[in-house]
Amino acid sequence: MAETTEAPAVSPEVQEQIARFLTKANDAVEKGSEFVVEQAPLVIQEMITFGRACHTGAVLAGLLGLLAVYLFVKKKAEPIMSVKGRATTDLEDFTLIAGSIASLVLSVVSIATICCNVEQTIKVWFAPRLYILEKLGDLL
């Protein structure tokens, strides 16, 4: 036969300490939840503001990169390449090759930056509640 064991009796002092601890814990949880409810609108507004600044800044940085590539091609590469039959100097060749490589890298980085941020930029400006819900989903 299996023996049944009863839980040991808890002294009244321990019961009182447990009751005080649970009361304090309950008070702390209530105060914490009140704080969260009070601060939620401000935190949401700050998340939207930060998202607008961050994603819009990234898209603008990508556009500036593409503008820099365009200006390089327009100012440096086009004059060198436009004259047919003209011998180029080593410096012009180096400028053209190095600038072309740098332009290619900057173009790829700029386009990637724009592509990665344009959806979030549109969302944070035109559907901020959806943006917040997705951010909260990411946190959970």
Provide the b/e sequence for 1-39 (b: ≥16 CB within 10 Å): eeeeeeeeeeeeeeeeeeeeeeeeeeeeeeeeeeeeeee
pTM above 0.75, yes or no: no
pLDDT band at 97 (very low <50, low <70, confident <90, very high): confident
**Per-residue pLDDT tens over the stretch 63-83:** 999 999 888 888 877 766 666
First to last CA, the chain: 49
Domain boundaries, the chain: 13-139
Rounded Cα distance between 113 and 55, Å, is 10
Rounded to whole angstroms, the Cα distance separating 63 from 55 reads 12
Tell me the chain's radius of gyration from C-alpha atoms: 32
